[in-house]
Amino acid sequence: MYHNILVPISFDSERDISGPLKLAEILATPDAQVTLLHVVEHIPNYAISYMPPEYLIEARKAIQLELDALAAKLPKAVGIVVEGHSGRTILDWAEAHKPDLIVIASHRPGMQDLLLGSTANHVVRHAACAVHVVR
């Protein structure tokens, strides 16, 4: 059983977040802290200039509402939105907050993963704690 669990959440349509949430609930001790973490990737400057000024603020609010709704389904869970590169930012957050488990979803690997790598793969290779990948 784990006391501090990190569950990175991706709202991509190909990812099923129910599995990692269910597993985190099963593996958590009764007093465990569960953190649902969503990483917002940086938008390049050339692209941001074409977006309305309030776009990022509104998008972040919407993501936080979704995370809060998911967190409400788990005891002692919180949702956090951060900015950065997914894999590196998840690992940086984990280094700073010392979870004893990361539960991360993965999609079925394809050719793009062989060339670019995936967030789950990066986290598995570099995390200092246990990582459970849910497919």
CATH of the domain at 106: 3.40.50.620
pLDDT per position in the chain (135 positions), as tens? 999 999 999 998 777 899 999 999 999 999 999 999 999 998 888 888 888 989 989 999 999 999 999 999 999 999 999 999 999 999 999 999 999 999 999 876 665 555 434 888 899 999 999 999 998
Measured CA to CA, the distance from residue 105 to residue 7 in angstroms comes to: 9
Domain range enclosing 56: 2-134
Measured CA to CA, the distance from residue 127 to residue 116 in angstroms comes to: 19
Q: What is the DSSP string of 93-106?
A: HHHHH--SEEEEE-
Q: Could you give the number of structural domains in the chain?
A: 1
Measured CA to CA, the distance from residue 37 to residue 40 in angstroms comes to: 10
Is residue 127 within 8 A of residue 94, CB to CB? The reply is: yes
CB-hemisphere CA count at 13 Å for 14? 5
Write down the pLDDT at residue 16: 81
Q: Bridge-partner residues for 130, per DSSP?
A: 101
